[in-house]
Amino acid sequence: GAGVSQSPSNKVTEKGKDVELRCDPISGHTALYWYRQSLGQGLEFLIYFQGNSAPDKSGLPSDRFSAERTGGSVSTLTIQRTQQEDSAVYLCASSFEISGAGYTQYFGPGTRLTVL
Amino acid sequence: TQLLEQSPQFLSIQEGENLTVYCNSSSVFSSLQWYRQEPGEGPVLLVTVVTGGEVKKLKRLTFQFGDARKDSSLHITAAQPGDTGLYLCAGALDSNYQLIWGAGTKLIIKP
C-alpha cells in the first residue's frame, strides 16, 4: 500500500517568503507528527495531531510556524517569513493511535527546505 | 528535560568489523525503538524493545534493552557496506505520546 508522501521534495526560497509543506499520511492512521531534522542530526518534534483532539503545538519554535490537518488526513505545515535558520529537512510521520505503546511511526521522505 | 544520549555520533569502520552503538538516559522508558535512515529518506523502524533485559536479533543486528529500561544498545556483527546509514534510537514514555529521540549515529562501512 501507499506510504506517507510529502511534497515538495525540495524547496528553495528566499528569506522572508512564506512556504507550505504538505503531508499525506497512510490511510487510516489517526496520529500525525511533524519533525525537523538538521543535516545528519536527530529529530526535533514540532507538532502532533491525534484524531479530532486539539493538536500538541509545544514543539513549534516560533509563531511563524503553524500547521493544520484537514479532515483528519492531509496536513500542511506553514512557515511564514522564513529565516535562514529554518533550513532543514521537515519530516512527517503517521501511526495508528499513539506511539507511546510501541506503535510504529511511518515516515515520509521529507521536504528539504533551503532558505537563501 | 528528558534526554537520550546516543554514542558514538560518528563511526567509520572497515567491512567485516563489529560495532556497538549506545543510547543512555536517566529516564525509564516503556519501550525503545531503533530506526535506520538513509540519505533522502525518512527513518525506518528496525525494532522495538519493551521488556527490561530484552534481546532481539535481526540478522547481524542485535538489540538489547537495559534491565532498568534506561538504556539500549545496537550491536552489528561483521558489518557490511549496506549497513551504512544514520541510526536513531527513540524512547517512549508512559506519560507522553512523544518519542524522545537520540541525536543519531552516522555509520559508514568501507568496503
Query: Could you report the per-residue pLDDT of A8-54, keeping only the tens digit for each?
Result: 999 999 999 999 999 999 998 889 999 999 876 789 999 999 888 88
Q: What number is the average pLDDT over the span A67-71?
A: 90
Exposed, middle or buried, A96 (CB in 10 Å: 0-12/13-18/19+)?
middle
A4 and B30: CB-CB below 8 Å? no
A43 and B88: CB-CB below 8 Å? yes
pLDDT score recorded for residue B65: 97
Tell whether the torsion through CA atoms of A92, A96, A99 and A103 is positive or negative. negative
Length of chain B in residues, anyone? 111
A41: closest chain B residue by CA? B103
Cβ-based neighbour number of residue B62 at 10 Å = 16
B42 and A91: CB-CB below 8 Å? yes
Residue A102 has pLDDT above 60, yes or no: no
**pLDDT in single tens digits along all 111 residues of chain B:** 568 999 999 999 999 999 999 999 999 998 999 999 998 899 999 999 999 999 999 999 999 999 999 999 999 999 999 999 999 999 988 766 778 899 999 999 999
Q: Please report residues of B whose CB lies closer than 8 A to that of A43.
A: 43, 88, 90, 101
How many Cα atoms are found within 13 Å in the side-chain-facing hemisphere of A85? 4
Q: Which residue has the higher pLDDT, A96 or B74?
A: B74
In the three-class reduction of DSSP (H, G, I as helix; E, B as strand; rest coil), residue B38 is classed as coil
pLDDT score recorded for residue A72: 76
pLDDT score recorded for residue A88: 96
pLDDT score recorded for residue B29: 92
A99 and B99: CB-CB below 8 Å? yes
All three cell numbers of B39: 540519505
Tell me the nearest-neighbour CA distance from B55 into chain A, angstroms. Answer: 16
